Amino acid sequence: MLRQFLVLLAFAFVVAIGAAGGVSAQLTDRQSEYYQGWLSTAERAEKVIEANRASNASMEKLRTEISGYRDDFNRARSANTDRIQTLESQLKALGPKPDDGSSEPEDIASLRENLEQQLNSLKVPRIISEEAYSRANGLISEIDKIIRERQRKEFLERGPSPLNPAHWAPAWVDVTEAGRALMNETKANMRSAVVREKLKGSGLAIGILLAVAAILLLFGRSWSEKAGDYLRRFGGSGRGVWTFVVSLFRIILPWFGVVLIVQAVVMTGVPGLRGTLLIQEIPYWAAIILFYDWIGRQVYFMGEERGFKVLSANTIKELRVYLDLLALMLILHELGQLFERIENTSEATRAVVSFPVILVTALLLLRIRQIRRPEGSEDETDQGQSARAAGFSQLVELLRRALFFLGIASVVLAAIGYTNAAEAIVFPSVKTLVLITAIVIFQRFISSIYGWLTGQGDAASDSLFSVLVGFALAILSLPILALYWGARDSDLREAWSRLLMGFDIGGVTISPSNFLTFVAVFAIGYMLTRLLQSGLRNSLLPKTSIDPGGQNAIVAGTGYVGIFLAALAAIIVAGFDLSSLAIVAGALSVGIGFGLQTIVSNFVSGIILLVERPIAKGDWIDVNGMMGYVRDISVRSTRVETFDRTDVIVPNSDLISGVVTNYTRGNTIGRVIVPVGVAYGTDTRKVEKILGEIANAHPMVLANPAPNVVFQGFGADSLDFEIRAILRDVNWVLSVKSDMNHEINRRFTEEGIEIPFAQRDLWLRNPEVLVQPANKAAKPQQPDQQEPVKTDDSSAAPMNLTEADMDGDNGEEL
């Protein structure tokens, strides 16, 4: 094919302009003809753009032709990339030419010249293709700009007002004449000999088509229900999967019947030019009616489902009627546009004919906006559904406001003569509303299939899968919405082609192909990393003598290294050239160093923890006064489970830079200290002996080193002793301490040894102020009752207490 030789065609351009410094190429006539065709097309496009008089259809056709050339040039400018890189590497290996006037060896000079010739022979076509691609891309942009400008002018163009009575009579005459012309054309064709011959030759086929169409129209729905009864034997809910499938058959079979009727009518030859143009649109119009009626039925089924009673049955029936009327308005709109193209009517006639359709459509939209759930009609099930659909209700309210604005705006614009703007607003609004409803219906259908296959049932509608399906359907519907609101097919193709070509980020071209390659390779590397970690964790490492903390560090380190290697391999396989991002990466590293100091510090600290392992998974540590067991160590933080069974996330930098006590590092041996005090006068040697027996008798206490009892000193209220013992497992320190305290209490009780408690004497100054207040009568004191406090006769008169008065001589404070 000619396009496969595009690289060689570039040499023809060099020969044609005679400016390549001796570069020549032998080309076939077909290859030269192809390239000359591009030059001719480009020159013709430039003249058309400069004149700006061609129709939109001609512009679109020219644009399509240029787009084909542009795709070829785009492929050619990336050809022979690997070979060019190889030649450049060879030249780089030879080193630079001597620039001091000395000559290099003849063999090296000959090799360098040969390599440079090969490199130039490959680079020149790429340069020419790059220039041609840029020219084609510029021409396409200019054509798109012209067409968009025309669309904008057409949208803002103001014509005659349909409310002007002077335009009504001419419009009526145009409509009646168009209908009369259609009828006369059909009658003339029916009386012609050609039609009679067609009827004789194709009468049997026409009869069969009509018979099959009648059967599909009459029995299609009943057959659909019978098919649904059969399919339900395979499982699934009657209001779920198979009900949806049956509903599709209910509209597909009658539509095929309509298509067969249209084909039979066309075969008769009765329709003329006008009739043919009209009858060709009937399958599309039938599809609109059946689809909108199907939307209404699905809304009805959604309303009848348990737990989704959004609207009452009467309201849903009313909504179905409105949807059918909207379908009829769309058909009338399409019929009006067809009438304008066939009869070439005036702008006044078009405005008069379109205004009633626009008005009725706007009124239907406003009426649909008023349909809402009756206040106070929620039951408990509905309340749960409303809670789950809280976010969706905001979207519904936004749509309601949009419908109100668009409905009012379209009528006002049409009334003052902006018919094009009114049509471009109201009818896309109807299509958008129906499309959103269809997306919700299809989402529920796919969720029903998922719930049926997984056994989740109705719960699948609230799953993550349902949300992802809705998101995917919304993305897929964007091109359709763009077409509804005035986008051209060429605009979508242009966006798709640019997406396939990719976009540059810092000199790195990212396209869907290399992006998907990157994702696939990284996913494979990630899965292999997880499999390796699982093998290490469950099979290899448990058979070694490495402690659990070390095993966890090896598994975690393997995961980080594996993910890094997977990302690196994905970048290499996808073909991303990251050399151009070196400066950007350097700038980002500086920004990270200043803006993300804490995160980077924690990351580095996490690496240190995994390598040095001052703490390991399962260790009992004390950090910042908080004690607990290490449950997980990541590169940013460490999860510590406290004795209250709460998880505390500790930044790794605190574990590296702060003071951390590790009670179980390397082994679980630890010391327990049990303090106890006895009353003054107790035999200290006897106490020491009892405490030693208690310590040696506990099973968790090691015999070597042996426990010891320390007489700490003379306390304020007691003689203080301590049991100091080494435990074989420090994790049991609290239990051991509790056991020893129980045993100490029992033995001291048996031996009559007293454990004292603190006692204090309280001395008050001026007690008469507290005993007999001045404003109250003192309670008579019994003769045999002693004074509980000492009095100070030096204070004869009552006085108010101060802070100094409340301080006793012994330093005690009241």
Residue 731 maps to which CATH number?
3.30.70.100
Residue 17 lies in a domain: yes
Is residue 431 a contact partner of residue 425, using CB atoms and an 8 Å limit?
no
Is 9 in the same domain as 81?
yes
Residue whose C-alpha is closest to residue 400's, from 439, 423, 373, 370: 370
**From CA 276, how far away is CA 263, in angstroms rounded?**
11
Predicted pLDDT at 1: 39
> What value does the mean pLDDT take over residues 630-659?
87
3-state secondary structure of 642: strand
Distances (CA, A) of 224 to 230, 251, 532: 10, 9, 53
Predicted pLDDT at 232: 67
| 509-512 contacts, C-beta under 8 A, 24 or more apart | 510/576
Q: Which pair of structure tokens corresponds to residue 185?
A: 């054309």
Placement of tokens 């607990």 in the chain: 628
pLDDT tens figures, 784-799: 444 444 444 444 444 4
Placement of tokens 């290294």 in the chain: 561
Placement of tokens 């790059």 in the chain: 130
Which is more confident, 807 or 550?
550
> What value does the mean pLDDT take over residues 27-43?
72
Predicted pLDDT at 129: 80
Residue 166 has pLDDT above 80, yes or no: yes
Peptide bond into 705 cis (omega under 30): yes
Region for residue 617 given its phi and psi (left: phi exceeds 0; alpha: psi -120 to 50; beta: otherwise): beta
pLDDT tens figures, 554-574: 888 888 889 989 988 888 887
Residue 654 maps to which CATH number?
2.30.30.60
Predicted pLDDT at 730: 87
Predicted pLDDT at 507: 58
Is residue 694 a contact partner of residue 674, using CB atoms and an 8 Å limit?
no
Residue 286 has pLDDT above 90, yes or no: yes
Is 517 in the same domain as 650?
no
**From CA 710, how far away is CA 631, in angstroms rounded?**
37
Predicted pLDDT at 761: 74
Is 324 in the same domain as 471?
yes
Distances (CA, A) of 153 to 142, 157, 388, 420, 670: 17, 6, 46, 10, 88
Q: Name every residue whose Cβ is closer than 8 Å to that of residue 637 and which is 6 or more positions away in sequence.
A: 602, 606, 649, 650, 651, 652
Residue 633 lies in a domain: yes
**From CA 359, how far away is CA 87, in angstroms rounded?**
71
Predicted pLDDT at 307: 37
Q: Which pair of structure tokens corresponds to residue 151?
A: 């669309």
Neighbouring CB atoms inside 10 A of 389's CB total: 16
pLDDT band at 24 (very low <50, low <70, confident <90, very high): very low
Is 526 in the same domain as 557?
yes
Distance of CA 639 to the CA centre of its chain: 29
Predicted pLDDT at 259: 92
Share of the chain above pLDDT 70, in %: 80
Which is more confident, 130 or 139?
139
Q: Mind giving me the DSSP string for 126-155? A: HHHHHHHHHHHHHHHHHHHHHHHHHHHHHH
Region for residue 613 given its phi and psi (left: phi exceeds 0; alpha: psi -120 to 50; beta: otherwise): left
Is 424 in the same domain as 288?
yes
**From CA 434, how far away is CA 325, in angstroms rounded?**
13
pLDDT band at 698 (very low <50, low <70, confident <90, very high): very high
**From CA 286, how far away is CA 331, in angstroms rounded?**
9
Q: Which pair of structure tokens corresponds to residue 262?
A: 């249209």
3-state secondary structure of 624: coil
pLDDT tens figures, 485-513: 888 888 888 888 777 776 666 556 677 77
Predicted pLDDT at 101: 60
> What value does the mean pLDDT take over residues 73-81?
77
> What value does the mean pLDDT take over residues 691-697?
92
Predicted pLDDT at 783: 45
Residue 794 lies in a domain: yes
Residue 637 lies in a domain: yes
Predicted pLDDT at 692: 92
Residue whose C-alpha is closest to residue 486's, from 773, 220, 154: 154
Is 390 in the same domain as 428?
yes
Residue 318 has pLDDT above 60, yes or no: yes
Is 651 in the same domain as 786?
no
pLDDT tens figures, 43-58: 999 999 999 888 888 9
Residue 293 lies in a domain: yes
Residue 568 maps to which CATH number?
1.10.287
Q: Whole-number mean pLDDT of the chain?
A: 79
Predicted pLDDT at 234: 64
pLDDT band at 532 (very low <50, low <70, confident <90, very high): very high
Neighbouring CB atoms inside 10 A of 507's CB total: 13
Residue 200 lies in a domain: no
Residue 100 has pLDDT above 70, yes or no: no
Is 552 in the same domain as 632?
no
Share of the chain above pLDDT 90, in %: 21
Least confidently predicted of 22-36, 103-117, 477-491: 22-36
Is 342 in the same domain as 482?
yes
Q: Name every residue whose Cβ is closer than 8 Å to that of residue 662 and which is 6 or more positions away in sequence.
A: 614, 615, 619, 620, 621
Q: Is the pTM of this model over 0.85?
A: no
Show which of 621, 639, 665 is a domain's final residue. 665
Is 573 in the same domain as 631?
no
> What value does the mean pLDDT take over residues 450-464?
76
3-state secondary structure of 232: helix
Is 36 in the same domain as 90?
yes
Residue 605 lies in a domain: no
**From CA 495, how far away is CA 143, in angstroms rounded?**
15
Is 387 in the same domain as 328?
yes
Neighbouring CB atoms inside 10 A of 232's CB total: 17
Show which of 595, 626, 651 is a domain's final residue. 595
Full residue range of the structural domain in which residue 560 is found? 503-595
Predicted pLDDT at 18: 36
Residue 143 has pLDDT above 80, yes or no: yes
pLDDT tens figures, 369-412: 777 655 544 444 444 444 444 455 566 677 778 878 888 899 99
Show which of 439, 472, 497 is a domain's final residue. 497
Backbone angles phi, psi at 272, to 5 degrees: -90, -155
pLDDT band at 428 (very low <50, low <70, confident <90, very high): very high
Bridge pairing between strands 637-642 and 626-633? antiparallel
- Total domains in the fold of the chain: 6
Residue 577 lies in a domain: yes
pLDDT tens figures, 565-606: 998 888 888 777 666 556 556 666 666 666 667 777 887 888
Q: What amino acid is encoded at 676 in this protein?
A: V
Predicted pLDDT at 721: 94
Backbone angles phi, psi at 298, to 5 degrees: -65, -40
Residue 330 has pLDDT above 90, yes or no: yes
